[in-house]
Amino acid sequence: GAGVSQTPSNKVTEKGKYVELRCDPISGHTALYWYRQSLGQGPEFLIYFQGTGAADDSGLPNDRFFAVRPEGSVSTLKIQRTERGDSAVYLCASSPQQLTSPTDTQYFGPGTRLTVL
Amino acid sequence: AQKVTQAQTEISVVEKEDVTLDCVYETRDTTYYLFWYKQPPSGELVFLIRRNSFDEQNEISGRYSWNFQKSTSSFNFTITASQVVDSAVYFCALSEYTGNQFYFGTGTSLTVIP
């Protein structure tokens, strides 16, 4: 079946601009996650949704970052007043509500590479 | 606090050699999950394995094997008879038993030389 998809694959913006990154999870997965991966690092947790609500947003670095999932499926990560330090690959993942079978895990999308000039 | 350490930043091996990637974790939880993911040059994270904290049985899948030792908080990954296609960055990760927030190590970049 289809995996997690993310759009755009690449986004170049200027410092101070607003950007939106989209994630379409695997059909039927109720949990959705956003991570940020800087060069040479592992993914860093940002926020987790269970259904429509943000169950854990403790990883968001500051109030310029916000994410929504209004209908419990597609999610949008929004970054206001972008800064050069926001440049990274933003990864989205989805999973079943509970990890029951051995292959249940977070499945990751290809990521959006954000470059802030 | 949860923490995953992958001390090996980069490893190079010649094709057909065996290689072991180390992973050491820290957690106060009594039940948790451990994972390995592969990130090839294309960038997409590919799931390899999930291990429950209460199941210390080692696992083998083809050329891949995993050694989970709770006593040393380690979850090491061995590739037998490495191939060029194994070249990638490998990440070890830890999550609480709900499987929500993942804590990733910094990854080990493996290069298999033909």
> Which among B34, B44, B66 is the top mutation candidate for probing chain A, defined by the most A β-carbons within 10 Å of its own β-carbon?
B44
Q: Do A103 and B50 touch (CB under 8 A)?
A: yes
Residue predicted with more confidence, A106 or B21: B21
CB A116 within 8 A of CB A61: no
pLDDT score for B43: 87
| pLDDT for residue B105 | 96
pLDDT in tens, B68-86: 999 999 999 999 999 999 9
At B29, list the tokens. Answer: 């939880």
C-alpha dihedral, B61 to A94 to A46 to B105, nearest 10°: 0
Q: How far apart are CA B42 and CA B34, in angstroms?
A: 24
pLDDT tens track of chain A, all 117 residues?
589 999 999 999 999 999 999 999 999 899 999 999 999 899 999 999 998 988 889 999 999 999 999 998 999 999 999 999 999 999 999 998 777 776 788 999 999 999 999
Distance in angstroms (rounded) separating the CA atoms of residues B17 and A99: 34
Instruction: Nearest by CB to A43, from B47, B99, B104: name it.
Output: B104
Neighbours of B96 (CB within 10 A): 16
Cβ–Cβ < 8 Å for A4, A22: no
Cβ atoms of A89 and A111 within 8 Å: the answer is yes
Dihedrals φ, ψ of B28, to 5°?
-95, -10
A42 interfacial to chain B (CB closer than 8 Å):
yes
Query: How, if at all, do strands A88-95 and B19-21 pair?
Result: unpaired
What is the predicted pLDDT for the residue at B101? 82
User: Which among A40, A56, A99 is the nearest to B99, CB-wise?
Assistant: A99
Residue B103 has pLDDT above 70, yes or no: yes
* Mean pLDDT value of segment B23-46: 93
Which range (A8-17, A99-108, B40-49, B89-98) has the least confidence?
A99-108
Using a 10 angstrom Cβ sphere, with 0-12 exposed, 13-18 middle and 19 or more buried, the burial of residue B113 is exposed
DSSP character at residue B104 = E
What is the predicted pLDDT for the residue at A1? 57
CB–CB contact B102 A55 (8 Å): no
